[in-house]
Structure 1
Amino acid sequence: MAKRVLVIGGSYFSGRVFVEEALKMPDVELHVFNRGRLPLRMDGITEHVGDRERPEQVGDAIPGGQWDSVVDFCAYTPAHVETLLTNLRGTVGQYLLISTTTVYRKTTQQPVDERAPLLDGPQPELGEYADYGYHKCLAEEAARRECARRGVALTVLRPAIIYGYYNYAPRETYFFDRLRAREPIVIPEPGASRFNFIWVVDMARLLWACIGDPRAFGETFNLASGEVVSHARIVEALGEITGKAIDTLRLPAGEIARRKLPLPFPLDEDLVYDGTKIDRLFGFEHTPFHVGLREALKYYLMVKRREAAAANAR
């Protein structure tokens, strides 16, 4: 019998890759609910258009019945969780909330596992993103409360830095843009900061492993490769991929900040997370970083070629 799965979001980045992975799987009936700004138009996917912040649209646009799993890629506040679960018609077996490792407090103890202390308030030092991690904490609390009330199995996933196909965030593209323009890639000196990633396809596969598996019910998982990376390692990997020496400009972190250079990763602190809990549960092996980065670069170059062709056609 097919698993009936509802995706909230699903048109952008990690949600889109999750949907694409579904098309490779047997016995999945996949529905997607979002605002319809980027229609998928994929055979085998049923799309429903509506705004999750409008309770009546949740109830009217999404069909009822038994949902084996609901995968929520775009719950950023407790109200998002509450509005969805309160107004969704039918029954839900499992709710998978895509959270973030940003929910953890700053700590010098690395890697950070799922038992680490969470934020207890906003982070003003992050400017426009001051509320992001704390609101995700509150969304997790709301999910635990609402799922317990409704008898729904909850699985919380906290991805580290995601990279790969469809990435709209200026992360790996910082390096790709400079590589393509033959400009030096600025990296901090000394290279003290370390971080780790999750390739977007690996993330999708781990989510699919959790769906319908009782071992994931009631659990919280970090999603993070064990391969620790630095700015210098990214440049090194690009050299391995292209077979060329990469021109770099090493600057102190303070100078990079003074010049307001848009480096996408931490300059002088570690952000390393422990994803071994879920990896051990499912016997999962992550894609090596240089392989995922190679695929991300291929996708980036394909997009740039299409953009150039479209511009030339005007």
Structure 2
Amino acid sequence: MNILILGGTQFVGRHIVEAFLDSGHKVTVLTRGKSKDELPEAVKHLHGDRNEGAAGLSALEDREWDACVDVSGYTPQQVRASASALQGRVGRYVFVSTVSVYAEPERHPVREDDPLSAPAAEDVTEVSGKTYGPLKVTCENIVHEVYGEHCTVLRPQIVAGPFDHTARYPYWVDRAARGGQVLAPGDGQDSLQIIDARDLARFTVKVVEDGTDGTFNMSGPRISWADFMGVLGVSGPVWVNSKTLETNGLGSRELPVYLSAHGEQGGMMDVDNARAMAAGLTLTDPATTARDTREWSKDADLQYTLTPEREAEILASLGG
């Protein structure tokens, strides 16, 4: 099959490109050419910018593909431009959305048919923590409007794995590798649930090959934070409750991917993946994700908000 990837040079997109190649398909990527590109030579490159509307997508003219995978659509203007430009020239439009579309993130568990946030207006272009979910809702609506039954929407949870430049999940594998006492959020009973980027990529290939319509939560194995510390090889985590975390100014930037099970976002670590599993989603063992991420991140020179010095200072104040 001939596959078009909108984006494709970074993290999730890179894994999707490689998964299609591994399955024997031909891949073309459309990028702005501004990000570091280490894709295999077999990938064909086109340059364009959806922010410029139809004029920015002239490279797509007079070309056809069996499917398009939109990894980089964040605003309605971007998705409207590409969905319209490719109408009638791709057999399927796969849109990578997010679990942040759900209106009730405290719900346990979160399922595909749960209420969504109110959609953002199509002229909203600022992507922030407040607008991210509503923008993706509008993007999903555009894809459904243009492609009807010939589209698939994937809603990933936090994605992890090699090439993860977000410095969220890698914080924990790198922190564990440094050794010593590890400041750990909560009491060990909260849940951690991420999706390995390679699992998301393989499922993307499968829905294209199988012609699968529908909307799917992309979530991985759900484990406790105590088990996660065990996966990382942390023998003596120092558990810190929410009140103490707040007192010390420790939030999602300092301790990424942690969400209290009883907090306003608690359901985001309880995302039901039964529909995707029934459609062929396979999951990587958490230990493999941790190992492979660390193998990549040890040379990635990622920068983290919580420094070793600050962590040591807090642990000392706690008597740890």
With normalisation by structure 2, the TM-score equals 0.82
Residues 30 and 45 in structure 2, CA contact (< 8 A), matched pair in contact too: yes
Partner of 2:240: 251
1:19-54 CA-to-partner distances (Å, cap 9, x unmatched) read 11222222x221001111222452210011221111
Residues 190 and 252 in structure 1, CA contact (< 8 A), matched pair in contact too: yes
1:83-122 correspondence runs (5 A):
83-88=81-86, 91-120=89-118
Compute the displacement of 1:107 (Å).
Answer: 4.9
Partner of 1:238: 232
Tell me whether 1:70 sits opposite 2:68 in the alignment. Answer: yes
CA root-mean-square deviation = 2.3
Distance 1:35 1:208 in 2: 24
Partner of 2:260: 268
Tell me whether 1:130 sits opposite 2:130 in the alignment. Answer: yes
After superposing the two structures, state which structure 1 stretch, 180-189 or 66-75, moved more.
180-189
1:134-180 CA-to-partner distances (Å, cap 9, x unmatched) read 111111111111224xxx71100001111001101122222133234
Distance 1:163 1:115 in 2: 25
Distance 1:179 1:195 in 2: 16
| Corresponding letter in the other structure for 2:228 | I
2:49 to 40, 48, 51: 51
Aligned-partner SS, 2:103: coil
Aligned-partner SS, 1:165: coil
Distance 1:121 1:259 in 2: 36
1:41-93 CA-to-partner distances (Å, cap 9, x unmatched) read 52210011221111244432224332210100011122111111223486121
With over 3 angstroms needed to count, the CA separation of the structure-2 counterparts of 1:212 and 1:181, relative to structure 1, is closer
Aligned-partner SS, 1:93: coil
Compute the displacement of 1:121 (Å).
Answer: 6.3
Aligned-partner SS, 2:100: helix
Residues 70 and 94 in structure 1, CA contact (< 8 A), matched pair in contact too: yes
With over 3 angstroms needed to count, the CA separation of the structure-2 counterparts of 1:62 and 1:121, relative to structure 1, is closer
Compute the displacement of 1:259 (Å).
Answer: 2.0
| Corresponding letter in the other structure for 2:216 | F
| Corresponding letter in the other structure for 1:75 | G
Residues 63 and 89 in structure 1, CA contact (< 8 A), matched pair in contact too: no
1:220 to 206, 212, 215: 215
1:179-214 CA-to-partner distances (Å, cap 9, x unmatched) read 344353222233343231111111100000011423
With normalisation by structure 1, the TM-score equals 0.83
Distance 2:296 2:95 in 1: 27
* Identical positions, percent: 26
Residues 53 and 77 in structure 2, CA contact (< 8 A), matched pair in contact too: no
2:187 to 170, 174, 190: 190
Distance 1:86 1:102 in 2: 25
With over 3 angstroms needed to count, the CA separation of the structure-2 counterparts of 1:190 and 1:143, relative to structure 1, is same
Aligned-partner SS, 2:276: helix
Distance 2:113 2:101 in 1: 12
Distance 1:184 1:106 in 2: 36
Residues 183 and 238 in structure 2, CA contact (< 8 A), matched pair in contact too: yes
2:223 to 224, 229, 236: 229
Residues 174 and 298 in structure 2, CA contact (< 8 A), matched pair in contact too: no
Compute the displacement of 1:249 (Å).
Answer: 2.2
Tell me whether 1:170 sits opposite 2:167 in the alignment. Answer: yes
Tell me whether 1:281 sits opposite 2:279 in the alignment. Answer: yes
Aligned-partner SS, 2:298: helix
With over 3 angstroms needed to count, the CA separation of the structure-2 counterparts of 1:121 and 1:92, relative to structure 1, is closer
Listed as ranges, the gaps of 5+ residues in structure 2 are: 121-126, 303-320
With over 3 angstroms needed to count, the CA separation of the structure-2 counterparts of 1:230 and 1:260, relative to structure 1, is farther
Partner of 1:142: 142
Listed as ranges, the gaps of 5+ residues in structure 1 are: 240-244, 306-314
